[in-house]
Amino acid sequence: MQDVDVVVIGGGQAGLSAGYFLRRSGMSFEILDAEAESGGAWQHAWESLHLFSPASWSSIPGWPMPASKQTYPMRSEVLNYLREYERRYELPVVRPVRVTRIARSGEKLAVEASDGRVWLAKAVINATGTWSQPYLPFYEGVDKFDGLQVHSANYVNAQPYVGKRVAIVGGGNSGAQILAEVSTVADTTWITQREPEFLPDEVDGRVLFERATEKWRAQQEGREPNVPEGGFGDIVMIPSVRDARTRGVLGSIRPPTRFTEAGMQWDDGTVREFDAVIWCTGFRAALAHLSELGVVDDQGLIDVDESRVRSRLVPSIWLLGYGDWNGAASATLVGVTRYAREVVSQVSSYVAEASPA
């Protein structure tokens, strides 16, 4: 059993950002990560994925992401950056370690891994991301559908869809980017809850971050944010999406009422046949290992006071990097820094109180 001040669960960009500030705090800590390699969810993203902001707007604390030859860095550049970042700051990442359970152990927390190892910690920073929890909406008959079904979490490239009839479900950036790629080789139909919101061509993901920053400032100042309605997930018009618009494949229709063996059916009698459905319907936070503490609600969320879990019995867990519900833009590279800094500052005060010199 290892005894440390802080255990960070998750070694993606959020966990590493916490590690950067923990290193400077002087507290003892370890970062436990379920992956075999560095890079968190970026390892599983599709091959052609590019960031939607330039490198200068895609850095975690301390060392900036090196400039890219392209305006928008590729996925492989993010992976290199996170790997080098770990080395540069000599972050104590232990992998692969999957945490399966956290239990109270006196004033401390026992963090248990699937291989039987246990860490005892005064505080836990939970930075497990969402990639391991793909979300699939329920549709009547979907279990009878004969075609291929893939979530964007497992989408690699367009090759399996050549010459097929493919439905892309989901109106966010993943849906738009996968649609743009698959539509070059397949007959695609884009299915979205409502008409997608496209950003103007001349701006990029920086605008989404600026909107999130305004929301964060407004929260701090106790006023309403001055941002467009629902404007945090608007679609960034990266070159492939602009090209899809030029080819006339960026139109969308609303969801079906039910699935059939061969495809989908709408209430007005419309029927469409598909060979494959790609679900770009998002993710949920990976929090199963916290469930025994009684802090996870029916929606799979946790009540937080900013980033700290709101619980009288377990006051020593902080959540980092899940996006809007626990920090606007905290699920982006450039956005996670301010939350990591604040979380480590709070953890530091807590640990100092828990173990006075």
Residue (264 or 319) nearer to ligand FAD, CB: 319
Binding of ligand FAD by 348 (CB under 6 A): no
Tally Cβ neighbours within 10 Å of residue 260.
Answer: 18
Residue 305 CB, nearest distance to ligand FAD (Å)? 20
Tell me which of 59, 68, 128, 265 binds ligand FAD, using CB under 6 A. 128
List the 271-273 sheet strands across, edge first. 258-259, 263-265, 271-273
Both tokens of 260, joined, read 């059939």
Residue (263 or 282) nearer to ligand FAD, CB: 282
Residue 329 CB, nearest distance to ligand FAD (Å)? 8
Piece in contact with ligand FAD (CB under 6 A), picked from 52-60, 179-187, 251-259, 305-313: 52-60
Binding of ligand FAD by 68 (CB under 6 A): no
Residue 32 burial by Cβ neighbours in a 10 Å radius (0-12, 13-18, 19+): buried
Binding of ligand FAD by 9 (CB under 6 A): yes
* Interaction pattern, residues 305-324, with ligand FAD; x per rule: CB under 6 A: ----------------x---
Residue 267 CB, nearest distance to ligand FAD (Å)? 31
Give helix then strand counts, H and E, for the chain: 6, 17
Tell me which of 5, 7, 8, 12 binds ligand FAD, using CB under 6 A. 12
Residue 226 burial by Cβ neighbours in a 10 Å radius (0-12, 13-18, 19+): exposed
Cβ neighbors of 94 (< 8 A, separation 6 or more) are 30, 31, 32, 33
Binding of ligand FAD by 173 (CB under 6 A): yes
Both tokens of 23, joined, read 């290193």
d(CA 67, CA 116): 42
Tell me which of 5, 30, 35, 234 binds ligand FAD, using CB under 6 A. 35
Amino acid at 105: S
Piece in contact with ligand FAD (CB under 6 A), picked from 31-39, 155-163, 263-271, 339-347: 31-39
d(CA 148, CA 169): 13
> Residue 48: enclosing H or E segment and its boundaries?
none
Binding of ligand FAD by 98 (CB under 6 A): yes
Residue 164 burial by Cβ neighbours in a 10 Å radius (0-12, 13-18, 19+): middle
d(CA 184, CA 162): 9
Residue 240 CB, nearest distance to ligand FAD (Å)? 12
d(CA 82, CA 65): 9
Binding of ligand FAD by 10 (CB under 6 A): yes
Tally Cβ neighbours within 10 Å of residue 174.
Answer: 25
Tell how strand 304-305 and strand 308-309 pair up. Answer: antiparallel
* Interaction pattern, residues 261-290, with ligand FAD; x per rule: CB under 6 A: -------------------------x--x-
Binding of ligand FAD by 14 (CB under 6 A): yes
Residue 119 CB, nearest distance to ligand FAD (Å)? 11
Residue 222 CB, nearest distance to ligand FAD (Å)? 27
Q: How many residues contact ligand FAD, by CB under 6 A?
A: 36
Residue (243 or 258) nearer to ligand FAD, CB: 243
Residue (188 or 332) nearer to ligand FAD, CB: 332
Using CB under 6 A as the criterion, which residues of the chain lie in contact with ligand FAD when the complex forms? 9-15, 32-35, 40-42, 51-53, 58, 97-99, 127-129, 131-132, 173-174, 205, 286, 289, 321, 331-334
